[in-house]
């Protein structure tokens, strides 16, 4: 018994004759939709199919985007939860490029913005690879040439990686580039995608000249935060307010249809400058008790740099020092970050740190480990080796916070 999804069936089950819609099959079970809307899953051998008729084509009611006189914004879609839909085959959520249904929620947005939608790709963000950052950067550059600002819809899983990679690639921008995602898929009435997108559009029409991330400020639907791409992490796997500016305040907040700036930012420039080379051979290593020098060496093979997430102020076991020396002697850069969620690496305080410093390990200051990764990939792609350490230590895109304050999120 195989039918096209949506086939109307008349079946006899458990003595009753029922009109149902065929949904799917999983081994010996069929899932059909009853007239009251419920799906039921029943063993094939318990059913008699009395009649079947071809599925009707589904009518979709769609409003096309108006192209008015609002601020021109380009919307680049890459996939992710924010535009996800249900996959009835696997029963799981999958990416979709159909973003209009989000925008349709706020009719006022169609007056305020003239939105051009550009489909970049349609993937789950965990499949984003460095090579795609390069392509995406090109598209962003192109779109910024046409629009006031750019909104990039992106899966939340690796959104902060993409954001920081783009941030390094663009030395200057002619408008805001706002990345936006969602933690509840937009097929749900309670989805955060509507609010996050509303905020992203508002942020993308400001004079910010940075790569940022627009997500819920808290669990409530009343405020959207704008985070700097190079200071943001996804801090919770499921909550709406998963994204946080680590060790600082968000750049801005969108509340009651209004953007409030909370901290300093780089204004947009009159020219765009893109250096789009990326060295992929960089890896992250999470130090932990039991990690052996051999492990470290194997992971470093063929790498131009490794980013170690050490403990505390930037420490690893002394038993690994010979391997670090060996790795460095092969020309691989070793950068030290901390697996603590926040705070600075400082190789002056403890003897372990001083020895690592002497060996030549580069301290990443208070750069987030993921950002140290994208920065290393960027630097090795675009600058000579000898500038690596000094540029890692230089605050290029707001990735190093010279001051941390009590009371800020960590």
Partner 1 sequence: MIAINTKDKKIKIGLEIHLQLSTGKLFCKCPDMNNSGIKGKFSRKLFPTENESGDVDVAALQEERKNVIYEYEVSDNSCLVEADEEPPHEINADALDTALQIAFSFNSEVLNAVSVMRKVVVDGSNTSGFQRTAVVSTGGYVTVNEKKVGLTTICIEEDSARRVESGNDHTVFSLDRLGIPLVEISTAPDIETFQEAVDVAREIGMRAMLTGNIRRDSDAIRQDVNFSMGYGRVEIKGISKLSLISEALIAEENRQKFLSEAIGIFLERGGFDGTVLIDYTEKIAKSESKIIQKGIAAGNRIFAGKLENLGGILKSGNYRIGKELADALKLFSIGGFIHSDELPGYGITQDEVNEIKKFLKSRENDAIILISIPESKKDIAQDAINKRVEKLLSLDFSETRAANEDGTSRFLRPISGSGRMYPETDIPTIKIKNSRMVELNSAAPKSFDQALSSFTDEWEISRQEAEIILATGRKKEFIELAKLWGKPREMSRMILQSIPEIERKYRKKLEYGDLKTLVEKIATKNYGRISLEMAIDQCISGKSIEEVVISDDIRPLDRNELKIIVERIRKSGDIRKENIIAKVKNETNRPVDPKIVMEIYQNS
281 Cβ neighbours under 8 A, 6+ residues apart: 302, 303, 304, 305, 380
Q: Is 393 in the site for a second copy (CB under 8 A)?
A: no
Of 134 and 391, nearer to partner 1 (C-beta) is 391
Count of residues for the chain?
410
Residues 264-283 that bind a second copy (CB under 8 A): 280-283
Joined tokens for residue 29: 């079970």
* DSSP three-state, residue 351: helix
Is the CB of 93 or the CB of 134 nearer to partner 1?
A: 93
The Cα 179–Cα 133 span in angstroms is 13
- 153-192: contacts with partner 1 (CB under 8 A): 184, 186-191
Pick the catalytic residue: 141, 234, 249, 375?
234
User: Taking CB under 8 A as the rule, does residue 299 contact a second copy?
Assistant: yes
State yes or no: residue 229 binds a second copy (CB under 8 A).
no
Q: Which does 340 bind (CB under 5 to 8 A by kind): partner 1, a second copy, none?
A: a second copy
- Tell me the C-alpha distance between 127 and 130, whole Å: 10
Cβ–Cβ under 8 Å, residues 163 and 211: yes
Q: Are strands 282-286 and 305-310 parallel, antiparallel or unpaired?
A: parallel
Q: List the x/- string, 34-73, binding to a second copy by CB under 8 A.
A: ----------------------------------------
Chain-centre distance for alpha carbon 111: 28
In the bound state with partner 1, the residue whose beta carbon lies nearer, of 34 and 50, is 34
Q: Considering the rule CB under 8 A, would residue 405 count as an interface residue with partner 1?
A: yes
DSSP class of 66: P
First to last CA, the chain: 57
**303, two tokens:** 């790498």
Rounded to whole angstroms, how far apart are CA atoms 52 and 224?
49
Partner that binds at residue 384, options a second copy, partner 1, none, CB closer than 5 to 8 Å by kind: none
The answer to whether residue 157 is catalytic is yes
- φ, ψ for residue 209, nearest 5 deg: -120, 45
Query: Is 96 a residue that touches a second copy (CB under 8 A)?
Result: no
Residues in 330-359 that interact with partner 1 by CB under 8 A: 343-344, 346, 348-349
Which residues would be at the binding site for partner 1 (CB under 8 A)?
6, 13-16, 26, 29, 31, 33-43, 58-61, 86-88, 91-93, 101, 105, 184, 186-191, 194-195, 218-222, 238-240, 313, 343-344, 346, 348-349, 402-407
Q: Which residues are catalytic?
A: 81, 156-157, 234
């Amino acid at each position: 018994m195989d039918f096209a999804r949506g086939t109307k069936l008349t079946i006899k089950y458990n003595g009753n004759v029922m009109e149902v819609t065929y949904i799917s099959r999983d081994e010996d079970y069929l899932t059909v939709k009853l007239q009251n809307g419920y799906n039921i899953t029943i063993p094939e051998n318990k059913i008699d199919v009395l009649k079947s008729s071809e599925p009707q084509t589904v009518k979709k009611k769609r409003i096309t985007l108006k192209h008015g006189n609002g601020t021109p914004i380009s919307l680049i879609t890459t996939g992710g939860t924010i535009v996800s839909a249900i996959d009835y085959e696997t029963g799981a959520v999958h990416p979709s490029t159909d973003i209009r249904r989000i925008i349709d929620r706020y009719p006022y947005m169609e007056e305020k913005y003239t939105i051009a939608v550009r489909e970049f790709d349609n993937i789950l963000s965990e499949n984003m690879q460095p090579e795609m950052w390069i392509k995406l950067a090109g598209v962003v550059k192109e779109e910024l040439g046409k629009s006031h600002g750019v909104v990039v819809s992106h899966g939340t899983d690796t959104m902060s990686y993409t954001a920081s990679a783009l941030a390094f690639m663009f030395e200057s921008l002619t408008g805001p580039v706002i990345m936006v995602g969602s933690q509840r898929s937009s097929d749900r009435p309670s989805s955060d995608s509507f609010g996050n997108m509303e905020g992203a559009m508002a942020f993308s029409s400001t004079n910010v000249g940075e790569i940022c991330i627009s997500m819920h400020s808290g669990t409530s639907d009343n405020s959207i935060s704008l985070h700097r791409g190079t200071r943001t992490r996804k801090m919770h796997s499921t909550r709406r307010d998963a994204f946080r500016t680590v060790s600082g305040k968000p750049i801005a907040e969108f509340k009651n249809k209004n953007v409030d700036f909370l901290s300093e930012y780089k204004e947009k420039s009159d020219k765009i400058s893109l250096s789009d080379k990326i060295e992929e051979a960089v890896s992250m290593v999470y130090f932990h008790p039991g990690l052996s020098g051999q492990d470290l060496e194997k992971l470093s093979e063929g790498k131009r740099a490794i980013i170690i997430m050490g403990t505390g102020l930037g420490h690893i076991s002394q038993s690994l020092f010979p391997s670090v020396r060996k790795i460095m002697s092969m020309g691989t850069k070793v950068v030290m970050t901390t697996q603590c969620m926040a705070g600075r690496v400082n190789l002056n305080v403890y003897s372990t740190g001083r020895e690592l410093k002497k060996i030549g390990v580069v301290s990443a200051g208070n750069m987030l480990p993921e950002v140290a990764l994208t920065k290393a990939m960027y630097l090795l792609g675009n600058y000579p080796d000898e500038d690596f350490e000094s540029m890692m230590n230089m605050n290029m895109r707001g990735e190093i916070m010279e001051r941390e304050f009590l009371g800020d999120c960590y």
